[in-house]
């Protein structure tokens, strides 16, 4: 028989984003980690940066141990209500950031192509002028 848990929207979870009241969302579950912030080995700033969004990737990228994952379960207060819409502001800002990253990538690509092409062009020109003078 499934266990009944309290459902929270992402908007509700995102309102708990201070050192005195901190909730995070990982793998569709909502955790109240307020009491653990001072003990977190990476500092409370790392955790506070992950509030207001799905922190699953941040949690996995940090390479937490099995014991850390077990400890996290003790802070579970409910599950994320996936039937409710995502906070529109977060969705819009993430789309804007994706566009900015792709623009930055294109700019870097252009820079890395122009420098070698410029060097080759100057070398060909110098070689041509050197051979022409002989």
Q: What pLDDT is stored for residue 124 in this prediction?
A: 94
Q: What is the mean pLDDT of residues 16-26?
A: 91
CA pair distance 90, 93, nearest whole angstrom: 5
3-class DSSP state of 73: helix
Q: Work out the percent of the chain whose per-residue pLDDT is above 70.
A: 81
Q: What pLDDT is stored for residue 3 in this prediction?
A: 56
Average pLDDT, the chain: 81
Nearest-Å Rg of the Cα atoms of the chain is 25
Q: What is the mean pLDDT of residues 29-49?
A: 89
Q: Where are the domains of the chain?
A: 7-80, 87-133
Least Cα distance to 39 among 65, 10, 68 occurs for: 68
| The two three-digit tokens of residue 69, written as one number | 């994952």
Least Cα distance to 78 among 21, 20, 132, 4 occurs for: 4
Q: Which residues contact 21 (CB under 8 A, 6 or more apart)?
A: 34
3-class DSSP state of 48: helix
CATH for 7-80 is 3.10.120.10
Using one digit for the tens of pLDDT, what is the confidence trace for 79-129?
988 775 555 445 445 555 555 777 776 776 766 777 778 889 999 999 999
CA pair distance 72, 25, nearest whole angstrom: 11
- HSE-CB at 73 with a 13 A cutoff on CA atoms is 5
- Confidence band, pLDDT 50/70/90 cuts, at residue 1: very low
Q: What pLDDT is stored for residue 125 in this prediction?
A: 93
């Amino acid at each position: 028989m499934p266990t009944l848990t309290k459902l929270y929207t992402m908007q509700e979870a995102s309102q708990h984003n201070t050192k005195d009241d901190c909730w995070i969302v990982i793998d569709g579950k909502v955790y109240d980690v307020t009491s653990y912030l001072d003990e977190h080995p990476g500092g409370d700033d790392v955790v506070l940066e992950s509030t207001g969004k799905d922190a699953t990737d941040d949690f996995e990228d940090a390479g937490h141990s099995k014991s850390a994952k077990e400890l996290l379960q003790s802070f579970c207060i409910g599950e994320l209500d996936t039937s409710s819409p995502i906070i529109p502001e977060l969705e819009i800002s993430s789309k804007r950031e994706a566009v900015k990253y792709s623009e930055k990538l294109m700019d870097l690509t252009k820079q890395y192509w122009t420098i070698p092409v410029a060097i080759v062009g100057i070398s060909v020109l110098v070689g041509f002028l050197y051979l022409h003078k002989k």
